[in-house]
Amino acid sequence: MPTRLQEGAAIDNNFVKLFKLAQLCIEYLMDVLSESLAAVEQQLAEARQALEEERKFRLCDHEAIRQLQHENRKRRRLIQNLQLEMLRSPHAAPSSGTVSSTPPMPSALSRRCRAKVQSENLYCEWKRRFAAFQELSADKRFCLLRPNT
């Protein structure tokens, strides 16, 4: 038995069932799309968070590089000063009348040798610490590099 519209036209029951089925299909598809949209938004939020963490790490790395460059400049100045001191230090005059073919080693030279050995030891220590730092997870690295405030 056909149902009636307000205008009086008859509608087939099968058409009504088909229309309701189409509505249900559309509602289902909208639910699926909203769920997938929520999943994509979640992924976007995670990606933004990861990006922000990487920016923080990059800033920390940049700060560490700046500190290392500063330390490098200080050490370079120290080496230059030691070299100038070596050049300026007077060589001891021989007590006898003969001139030695090789001047005595100034004390600055032995300091230079000690400084070189010490800098090599520091470099090895730095390499060891850097390798250990690279093995840490990202969260632990950020905590280590975070400035104390």
CA 38/CA 32 separation, integer angstroms: 10
Position 33, amino acid: L
- Our CA dihedral for 26, 30, 31, 33, rounded to 10 degrees, sits at 140
DSSP state of 97: S
pLDDT reading at 3 higher than 90: no
Mean predicted confidence (pLDDT) in 82-110: 58
pLDDT reading at 69 higher than 90: yes
Give residue 138's pLDDT band: very low, low, confident or very high (50, 70, 90).
low
More confident residue, 138 or 27: 27
- Least confident interval from 5-19, 100-114, 115-129, 134-148: 100-114
CA 49/CA 109 separation, integer angstroms: 54
Give residue 71's pLDDT band: very low, low, confident or very high (50, 70, 90).
very high
Please tell me the pTM assigned to this model.
0.38
Q: Where are the domains of the chain?
A: 10-88+104-145
